[in-house]
Amino acid sequence: MDLLPNKIDKVSVPPLKIQGIKTKLVPFIMNSISWDGQGTYFEPFMGSGVVGFNIAPRKAIFSDTNPYIIQFYNDLQSGKINEKIAREFLEKESVKLSATPPDKTSYYYEVRDRFNKEHSSLDFLFLQRSNFNGMMRFNSQGNYNVPFGRKPERFKKALITKIVNQIAWVRKLMIGKDWKFIQMSFPKAFEMMSEGDFVYLDPPYIGRYDGYYDNWGEKNADLLAQITQCSKAGYALSMWSENMYRKNDYLDQWSKGIKVTTEHFYYLGAKEKNRGAMTEALIVNRKNFNNNKEIKKRRIQEISLF
Ligand SMILES: C[S@@+](CC[C@H](N)C(=O)[O-])C[C@H]1O[C@@H](n2cnc3c(N)ncnc32)[C@H](O)[C@@H]1O
């Protein structure tokens, strides 16, 4: 069974943003995978969760080392946060935000200090939706350090409704499904996988500072390549393949899979030099690769077998 082949152009966006979010790649990813959905879907680098939420499997384990993402979705699942609570909170806080200037004295920084002490999911949502560029960055002490997006009138009625609708979408998806949100590093997730399961992997990119909650380096990247290819679960790995300057040698370690690529325009921050076209790859294990010819023609520009 292909992953939702008829819903491929309708990608919904979750309430939390993060650098490296795969919204634009969701159709490419879903079209490249074939999985019967009988086992458990794992997403050990969930970030915003946009890929898994759009796939909407029956049974899933979403995880990340970032405790605040996990807490946020546990709060949505338990009902500690619902549409009404989120709307009331954002409406109340937006009044305070718009009463302060867009500089260092902004109310944004008061919420940021409060979040770094109390770690409330509502404050996290507020920061994520009013910060600079939807980044989710932390310093080496684990403190959230993204600056204000400089728009005191940020939370207009339409934006609050949009965020509330995104919360409603995820909460509705959870109904009747066996979904778990767990804070853990990826090797722990692999310990929970078995035959018939499927794992979508979107680790941080090596050699680039992204400011995620945890450091990522070659040691982790090599371990991931090793354990994925020994695992009984099917897999798909997202990774950059090449840009105008160089090729990603890391992909050589994934030689047991099938590689498909697509062009992706990315940007990291405001600087022009950080913007550009990147060839994004998806490596899928042979058994779970979607060979559908129509889909290949429409979505996959290049296909290469190692
Ligand atoms: C590229 S982002 C994932 C983006 C996500 N696919 C999306 O579309 O929003 C990588 C994620 O890996 C998480 N991470 C970093 N190190 C990790 C580790 N050792 N184990 C699990 N997650 C980790 C980061 O917190 C971040 O959320």
State pLDDT tens for residues 79-106. Answer: 999 999 999 999 999 999 999 999 999 9
Does a structural domain hold residue 297? yes
Question: Which CATH number do you get for residue 121?
Answer: 1.10.1020.10
If you ran DSSP here, which 8-state letter would residue 259 be given? E
Does a structural domain hold residue 178? no
What are the angstrom distances between the C-alpha of 58 and each of 190, 210, 250, 259?
Answer: 19, 32, 32, 27
Mean pLDDT for the stretch of residues 201-228:
90
Integer Cα distance of 295 and 32 in angstroms:
8
200 lines ligand 1 (CB under 6 A): no
Same domain, 191 and 301: yes
Does a structural domain hold residue 219? yes
Q: What is the pLDDT, as a whole number, of residue 211? A: 85
Same domain, 227 and 293: yes
220 lines ligand 1 (CB under 6 A): yes
Last residue of a domain, one of 142, 170, 198: 170
Determine the atom of ligand 1 nearest the C-alpha atom of 23.
8
Determine the atom of ligand 1 nearest the C-alpha atom of 43.
6
pLDDT tier for residue 4 given thresholds of 50, 70 and 90: very low
Provide the H-helix boundaries in the chain.
Answer: 26-32, 50-55, 67-78, 83-98, 107-118, 121-128, 157-174, 186-191, 218-230, 293-299
Integer Cα distance of 208 and 280 in angstroms:
15
Same domain, 165 and 299: no
Q: What is the pLDDT, as a whole number, of residue 295? A: 67
CA of 94 to the centre of ligand 1 (A): 29
Integer Cα distance of 293 and 24 in angstroms:
22
Structural tokens at position 243: 């840009």
Same domain, 166 and 279: no
pLDDT in tens, 243-295: 878 889 999 999 999 999 988 766 555 565 556 778 899 999 999 999 887 66
Mean pLDDT score of the chain, rounded to an integer? 90
Question: Which CATH number do you get for residue 48?
Answer: 3.40.50.150
Same domain, 103 and 216: no
* CA 64 from centre of chain: 10
Integer Cα distance of 16 and 50 in angstroms:
9
Task: Please enumerate in sequence order all residues whose Cβ is within 8 A of that of 174, keeping only pairs 6 or more positions apart, or say none.
Answer: 76, 77
Domains in the chain, number: 2
CA of 99 to the centre of ligand 1 (A): 35
Last residue of a domain, one of 123, 139, 170: 170
Same domain, 213 and 287: yes
pLDDT in tens, 100-157: 999 999 999 999 999 999 999 999 999 999 999 899 999 999 999 999 998 888 899 9
128 lines ligand 1 (CB under 6 A): no
65 lines ligand 1 (CB under 6 A): yes
Same domain, 78 and 50: no
Last residue of a domain, one of 147, 170, 193: 170
Q: Does position 6 have pLDDT exceeding 50, yes or no?
A: no
Could you tell me if 50 and 161 are in contact, meaning their C-beta atoms sit under 8 angstroms apart?
Answer: no
- Which domain range does residue 297 map to? 5-65+184-305
pLDDT in tens, 25-82: 999 999 899 999 999 999 999 999 999 999 999 999 999 999 999 999 999 999 999 9
44 lines ligand 1 (CB under 6 A): yes
Same domain, 93 and 234: no
- Pick from 45, 50, 73, 192 the residue to mutate for probing ligand 1's pocket: most ligand atoms within 8 Å of its CB: 45
Q: What is the pLDDT, as a whole number, of residue 266? A: 63
